[in-house]
Amino acid sequence: MSNTDPIGSLTWAVRDSLMRYVTVIAGGSFDIDGPASIDGSGVFTFPLVRAESSDGGWRLMFSGSLHFTAHHGLLDIRIIDPEIVVRPASGTLYARTDADSPALTAIVELGAAAPTEDGADLAWDAVPSQLLDSAVEMFGSVYPAGTPMAPLGIRITIDS
């Protein structure tokens, strides 16, 4: 396995209807922490901190956290330090969902998407994602497994 110190990011809006529900309908809020950020269109960015490649796939580790809250804490969704495992035909986004636990939860399955290459740059654009059964409860059981979530974008530059 090759370990590198790349530059890159994960961009993900999670799900438009979730953002509208939390911030408009339920009167809740979201917080971002660490190096994570949000742009004007509601897309969150998590910077890449580590990439490992092996057997035609990647394990990409990102930093930062996102926390949605509403209904006086009854809705409480945390996405902490996401990780993505990308294989040639699919992938999975994992994240910690509890600040006090190192355990990762599989959140969404990624559709097939081969990266585009430009020198040392790899990019996966508009990768479709679907909620996994292991994350249904995390989202308050509102969305069933298989629900389409926002597409993801991944960019990495590997200094060779």
User: Domain ranges in the chain?
Assistant: 2-157
What mean pLDDT is reported for the chain?
A: 91
Please determine, for residue 140, whether its predicted confidence score (pLDDT) is greater than 80: yes
Rounded Cα distance, 12 and 49, in Å: 17
Q: Tell me the per-residue pLDDT of 53-97, one tens digit each, with 9 for 90 and over.
A: 878 789 999 999 999 999 988 899 999 999 999 987 889 999 999
pLDDT of residue 89: 83
Determine the residue type at 43. Answer: V
- What's the pTM? 0.91
List the Cα angle 10/80/60 in 5-degree steps.
40
Cβ-based neighbours of 146, under 8 Å, separated by 6 or more: 130, 131
Whether residue 2 has pLDDT greater than 60: no
Sign of CA dihedral 145, 149, 151, 156: negative
